Amino acid sequence: MRSLSARLSTLITTAGMCVLSTTALAADLTVSAAASLTNAFNDIAKAYQQQYPQDKVRLNFGASGSLLQQIQNGAPVDVFASADQQTMDQAQAKNLVRAADRVNFVNNTLVLITPKNSTLNIRNMKDLQQASIHHIALGNPAYTPAGRYAQAAMEQAKVWSKVQPKIVNVNNVRQALDYVANQSTEAGFVFGTDAAIMPDKVQVAATIPTTKAISYPIARTINTKEPAAANRFIGFVRSAKGQQILKRYGFQSVR
């Protein structure tokens, strides 16, 4: 029969190995995500950390194109979630993410909004040509997906050249939302999920059709130092729990 001291030694060694194992699994994860994901990803990060308490998630939000530039310039990012395919295509072309690592995880809609108390008769994009409309908030199409979707839709409706002088380019879709909510502009283009978080300050004048579905891709970056944790986070976003949180904020399941 083993001595008490031998058994204690084994228990201490086993406990030490468990601590080392837990420490080895711990990760400090940086997730850069489109501004329209702010509320949903804040909740997802909290739920993720409850399930994986060894991991710490740091969130960085902004226009998808701006986030891409940060990654390209060497920002230490482990997971990138874009509001459009074009930006993720660029990330892939620049060898910042791999095609095999990207996956679409949610869809959205584009909407035209006005202040809640607006008395202007705006029901479609052609109505933006009215003389009473002086300013239209729009994420800069150069790096903001919502802005690109809106510009393409206005070009298709043949109103872009007429309303372009009224456009107020802003940094991201949430800033466009704020401009309309604060009545700094008479109208603006945002995603449906953005309008849904301020129902007391903005109203949806029209849902804008787009030629392609507004699908959001997510991928771990090539330079991540936490590939296992990055995969865990992406898996959580796609899980029933993650999708439930996204649905609560108005996002649509990928078809």
| Tokens describing residue 129 | 């040509």
| Tokens describing residue 152 | 């393409």
Per DSSP, 22 falls in state H
Per DSSP, 127 falls in state G
The crossing angle, in degrees rounded to 10, of helices 145-156 and 173-181 is: 70
Angle (nearest 5°) at CA 23 between 21 and 28? 135
Rounded CA separation 175/29 (Å)? 26
Phi, psi of 111 (to 5 degrees): -135, 155
Phi, psi of 34 (to 5 degrees): -55, 145
Rounded CA separation 117/200 (Å)? 9
3 labeled binding residue: no
36 labeled binding residue: yes
CA distances from 10 to 7, 19, 182 (A): 5, 14, 66
Annotated binding site: 36, 64, 146, 173
Annotated binding site for molybdate: 36, 64, 146, 173
